[in-house]
Structure 1
Amino acid sequence: MSNQQQILFPVDSSKIDPLLSHHVAAVGASQADYRDAIDRLIHNLINIRDDEGKFLLRLADGRVLDTKSWNGWEWTQGVGLYGVYKVWEMTGDQKAWDIMTSWFEARFKEGTPSRNINTVAPFLTLAYLYERTGNRTYLPYLDAWGEWVYSGLPRTEEGGFQHIVYNSVNHQQLWDDTLMMSVMPLAKIGLLLNRPHYVEEAKRQFMVHIKYLADRKTGLWFHGWTFEGRHNFANALWARGNSWVTIVIPEFIELLDLPKDDALRLFLIETLEAQVKALAKCQTASGLWRTILDDETSYEEAAASAGFAYGILKAVRKGYLPKEYEALGVSAAKAVRAKINDAGELTQVSFGTPVFNSIQEYKDIPLTSMPFGQAMALLTMGEFMYRFI
Structure 2
Amino acid sequence: MSLANIDPQRVEVLKTIQSLINCLVNIKDETGEFLMTLEDGRVIDTKGWNDWEWTHGIGDTSSFANIARVDIYPGLYGLLKFHEITGDIEALRIALTWFRDRFAVGTTKNVNTMSPLLTAAYLHEAKHANYAVHLDSWAEWAMYEMPRTQEGGLQHITYLVDNHQQLWDDTLMMSVLPLAKIGLVLGRPEYVEEAKRQFMLHVKYLADPTTGLWFHDFSLEFTAQLGWTFDGRHHFARALWGRGNCWITVAIPDFIELLNLPPSDGLRLFLVSTLTAQIDALVRLQDQKTGLWHTILDDASSYLEASATAGFAYGLLKSLRLRLIPREERYVRAAMLAVSGVLGKIAANGELQQVSFGTPVFDDIEGYKQIPLTSMPYGQSLALLALTEYLRTFL
Quick check: TM above 0.5?
yes
* Residues 79 and 371, structure 1, Cα contact 8 Å, conserved in 2: no
1:145-194 Cα distance to aligned partner (Å, 9 max, x none):
11101111111111111111112111111111111110110000000000
TM-score by length of 1: 0.90
- Out of 345-354 and 37-46, give the one that drifted further: 345-354
Cα distance in 1, alignment partners of residues 31 and 161 from structure 2: 24
RMSD over aligned Cα, in angstroms?
1.2
Cα distance in 2, alignment partners of residues 384 and 134 from structure 1: 26
Is it true that 1:103 corresponds to 2:107 in the alignment?
Answer: no
1:262-306 Cα distance to aligned partner (Å, 9 max, x none):
000000000000000000111012100001001111111111101
Is it true that 1:329 corresponds to 2:322 in the alignment?
Answer: no
Q: Which residue, out of 177, 188, 206, partners 1:195? A: 188
Instruction: Name the SS for the 1:85 alignment partner.
Output: helix
Is it true that 1:314 corresponds to 2:318 in the alignment?
Answer: yes
Opposite residue 311 of structure 2, the aligned amino acid is: G
Is it true that 1:376 corresponds to 2:376 in the alignment?
Answer: no
2:372 aligned partner: 366
Instruction: Name the SS for the 1:296 alignment partner.
Output: coil
Opposite residue 299 of structure 1, the aligned amino acid is: Y
Opposite residue 304 of structure 1, the aligned amino acid is: A
1:208-264 Cα distance to aligned partner (Å, 9 max, x none):
111111111110000111111111100011111110000011100000000111000
Is it true that 1:288 corresponds to 2:292 in the alignment?
Answer: yes
The count of aligned residue pairs is: 359
How do 1:217-296 and structure 2 match up within 5 A? 217-223=210-216, 224-285=227-288, 286-296=290-300
1:81 aligned partner: 76
1:173 aligned partner: 166
* Residues 85 and 392, structure 2, Cα contact 8 Å, conserved in 1: no
1:12-66 Cα distance to aligned partner (Å, 9 max, x none):
xxxxxxxxxxxxxxxxx92111111100000000001112222223223323222
Instruction: Name the SS for the 1:65 alignment partner.
Output: strand
Instruction: Name the SS for the 1:355 alignment partner.
Output: coil
Instruction: Name the SS for the 2:214 alignment partner.
Output: coil
1:110-133 Cα distance to aligned partner (Å, 9 max, x none):
x21111000001111111110111
Is it true that 1:125 corresponds to 2:125 in the alignment?
Answer: no
Q: Alpha-carbon deviation of 1:205?
A: 0.7
2:156 aligned partner: 163
* Residues 67 and 76, structure 1, Cα contact 8 Å, conserved in 2: no
Cα distance in 1, alignment partners of residues 383 and 129 from structure 2: 29
Structure 2, unaligned runs of 5 or more: 1-7, 55-69, 217-226
Q: Which has the larger radius of gyration?
A: 1
Structure 1, unaligned runs of 5 or more: 1-28
Cα distance in 1, alignment partners of residues 71 and 345 from structure 2: 19
Q: Alpha-carbon deviation of 1:388?
A: 4.7
1:287-330 Cα distance to aligned partner (Å, 9 max, x none):
00001001111111111101101101111111110111122111
Is it true that 1:65 corresponds to 2:39 in the alignment?
Answer: no
